[in-house]
Structure 1
């Protein structure tokens, strides 16, 4: 007979479970995040989009209504939920165009259903081409009522979500059109902190303010919502204790500066222990040669850390690029709060991002010219139609078929060009066996996350095929992805074929999208 304590503990999980209905109306608005007026693609008319929040165990139903009309930008869309796990039966709600679904054309609605088994800091964005660079991106936070790190902080709410991102004065369509023939990714015009930024010669847009009280400990959830850029984060005169990466709790690790690549999330605890005043939050953007866009000034990327009782004004101290004596994060030093030894690999891949030279921008995942090109029929549709082996996929789909129960090791050798590609795996976490910044091979208690950078140090990742489905594996610099730097890890397609149960509404998306004229796709 089960004990009373066991029964109560089991019931506790059901007390928190709820179904949260969220509506995202996707439409164009004219706005000026950095003072430059342009048309945006938004969720509910704001940049960044509205917060989606939930509690562990909840089911979130996100209804996206496509109301886009601006002909200078893509008018179809699709929402992807970065870092969220999907079980096999529900993998069709994952939202990756031409992998797990077709896009939503204009005047189309779709409801994504997400049963949540995780906690932590995530985000959502358009996954159609480079469209989220036009504004369709926002936070997705899953709170843990039994957070094992709750004793480390006092405040964790909507006011402690920080979003840093690059911003562009041209549309993503125009930027992509200039990139493909030139092989030069456009450099952003500015960086934004919680939706506000400045550029050289532009208006003095008020910086976003983070209000704090003396003596209080704050859990800041920092999300890099960029389409290209990395950000180096610090707060003048304050240290930061990192307690989570990409939703995975960590052993506390104190630094005063760290870099965030596109798609990454870090949760940090900051104690308001300095004299009452205003302090700069430094969000220093890097992404390409600033000479290619004279609007960009990295020192203008920042927010204000304002103590209660401080004047309503900007800090009077200089805008710097960070601390004079940096205690900089080495990703390889991070350890999960709940360690797991790395499983032994049964399949090994060696992949090397490579770009062609002297022609249109083409990125390959290795030297054998395997550029990813989105198929017209999504991977999941093919599998549901019985395509379960390699012969059913074009080489340009770059689909790796992985059997059930496998442990996959992906080795990225050192990149002499040091491109720092932030590689992201959908639907799973991976073990970071070797981080780019570190020489250590960690098989005992490696970091687990879903976005990490490749570079001149080399990176080794492992993941298990315990969640069958077609999962996109790609560079989160979306211009690189648009030029081919992606692949699909198709885990256990036979199970996917038999256990994925899409709805008719999902099934109808492809026919509706394919019937659209090209200008509406």
Structure 2
């Protein structure tokens, strides 16, 4: 498998045109750099020295070849790395180029490189890439990835879809995640973020008055905003003063247009919305209100200060004169109200599973406390030998894996349904499936729909109960985990293996991939972490 990276020039879609599949080469240098998205300067793990990192763009049918050069040197953070392309299927037998550490690959250390090869096939939409190793992406290694469709069936709904319409929200910490994770595992309290960010900018209580990110629009035009929640923990409630948003896509899958005034995005989720610039020329607040953690546990955090500005052409370069609010609080998106653009009834279920999430607390651990998240009373622990290596060496059933790998093995082309029953937990876990979409049969606390549910790759599992359904038609071992990465790193994960026989028949890793694990295992301990 090959390592991915680089700054790509934004390629805008040419609607109605036919673009022959090509290979696009991208290079990303993963380096430590000082950044200050909220005015507080800290060393970070970055793609090409910026946060967020450079946008990777592609056109439907292309193959991305992303070379990642690991140039990390700061010993206070992780110095190995591994890149995941969130939501991208990798539409070929190259399932080994899906950068899930110890599932499909091993990380690679400082001073080395790897190239990921990603055949995109027919996939289009809004995605992102980030480090999948431990909590490293919370230290900065995260950025958008957009696949444009030259013949977009929804192109008639908007006029503008360019670099300025890619919008990100994220949570941000002032300290390295290495000690913060150790703290979390001992005291059971997720460290509260220092600031919310919109397009890489925000503020914190007592910090400098940094500029909010402005999004330029021209009166009378319709804009396709590609919203990405790149958080490690937080959901965001998003709205734009005096404007509505028409949802046309969820996690890269087209939906019937559905107009709302406000929507909630969980960590890892993406929504494409159309906003018409139909108000008097001026500046309007883009409200992005962070949810996740008690601000009393971190006095830096002001959940409303990750906002942006919708700035009409002709308006002054200034903040809106209207009050900062939490949004309208009305006409909020109900996920169950979304319908697919092309209705497809899910096939009947072959295998039913129930996933019960819970937290286990061990007060007698040497540190005094140790908390682990579990699925069906098992807390996921990364194996030394990656799942895919075991499969290529003959593993064919769940008994071939350690219990703590929480691995489920299914034949190819079977329909799997996973139900998270209602619980008493005060959590909404955004579960993300790698390498596949699932039908969202029952959104959390919403009625079941097995007639025309949407498909996506991140959905919240919480007190109201959630059900998802997918087909094992993409052979490979795929992570299915909580995208609150604090929970993920405390064990809230599983691996879903589809078609082990087909994996052995079709997956033929490269020599570079074969060399990853021996090289990683030979690293000094301080370069692995």
Q: What is the TM-score normalised by the length of structure 1?
A: 0.96
**What is residue 453 of structure 1 aligned with on the other side?**
460
Q: Is 2:247 the counterpart of 1:237?
A: no
Q: 1:202 aligns with which of 194, 202, 207?
A: 207
**What is residue 336 of structure 2 aligned with on the other side?**
332
Superposed, 1:342-353 pairs within 5 Å as 342-353=346-357
The answer as to whether partners of 1:88 and 1:469 remain within 8 angstroms in 2 is: no
Shift of residue 283, structure 1, vs aligned partner: 0.6
The answer as to whether partners of 1:21 and 1:60 remain within 8 angstroms in 2 is: yes
CA distance in structure 2 between the aligned counterparts of 1:419 and 1:186, rounded to whole angstroms: 15
Q: Is 2:489 the counterpart of 1:479?
A: no
CA distance in structure 2 between the aligned counterparts of 1:374 and 1:53, rounded to whole angstroms: 31
CA distance in structure 2 between the aligned counterparts of 1:390 and 1:415, rounded to whole angstroms: 27
Superposed, 1:435-450 pairs within 5 Å as 435-438=443-446, 440-450=447-457
CA distance in structure 1 between the aligned counterparts of 2:298 and 2:138, rounded to whole angstroms: 16
Q: Is 2:284 the counterpart of 1:279?
A: yes
CA distance in structure 2 between the aligned counterparts of 1:29 and 1:151, rounded to whole angstroms: 42
CA distance in structure 1 between the aligned counterparts of 2:227 and 2:194, rounded to whole angstroms: 21
For structure 1, the 5+ residue unaligned runs are: 1-11
Q: Is 2:142 the counterpart of 1:137?
A: yes
**More displaced, 355-364 or 181-190?**
355-364
**What is residue 509 of structure 2 aligned with on the other side?**
502
Shift of residue 34, structure 1, vs aligned partner: 0.6
Q: Is 2:440 the counterpart of 1:432?
A: yes
CA distance in structure 1 between the aligned counterparts of 2:303 and 2:285, rounded to whole angstroms: 14
Q: What is the TM-score normalised by the length of structure 2?
A: 0.94
The answer as to whether partners of 2:91 and 2:120 remain within 8 angstroms in 1 is: no
**What is residue 73 of structure 1 aligned with on the other side?**
77
**What is residue 227 of structure 1 aligned with on the other side?**
232
Distance 1:436 1:174, change over 3 A: same
C-alpha distance after superposition, 1:7-34 (max 9, x if no partner): xxxxx99733121101000000011111
CA distance in structure 2 between the aligned counterparts of 1:467 and 1:158, rounded to whole angstroms: 32
**What is residue 37 of structure 1 aligned with on the other side?**
41
CA distance in structure 2 between the aligned counterparts of 1:55 and 1:84, rounded to whole angstroms: 13
C-alpha distance after superposition, 1:465-487 (max 9, x if no partner): 11110000000000000000000
Q: 1:310 aligns with which of 310, 315, 322?
A: 315
Superposed, 1:47-446 pairs within 5 Å as 47-87=51-91, 89-117=93-121, 118-323=123-328, 326-357=330-361, 358=363, 359-366=369-376, 369-438=377-446, 440-446=447-453
CA distance in structure 2 between the aligned counterparts of 1:15 and 1:184, rounded to whole angstroms: 50
CA distance in structure 1 between the aligned counterparts of 2:316 and 2:289, rounded to whole angstroms: 25
C-alpha distance after superposition, 1:258-286 (max 9, x if no partner): 10000000000000000110000001001
SS of equivalent to 2:371:
coil
**What is residue 9 of structure 1 aligned with on the other side?**
none
CA distance in structure 2 between the aligned counterparts of 1:412 and 1:13, rounded to whole angstroms: 43
Shift of residue 445, structure 1, vs aligned partner: 0.6
C-alpha distance after superposition, 1:80-108 (max 9, x if no partner): 00000024620010000000000011111
**What is residue 474 of structure 2 aligned with on the other side?**
467
Shift of residue 392, structure 1, vs aligned partner: 1.7
Shift of residue 437, structure 1, vs aligned partner: 3.7
SS of equivalent to 2:504:
helix
How many residue pairs align between the two structures?
Answer: 506
SS of equivalent to 1:16:
coil
CA distance in structure 2 between the aligned counterparts of 1:512 and 1:223, rounded to whole angstroms: 34
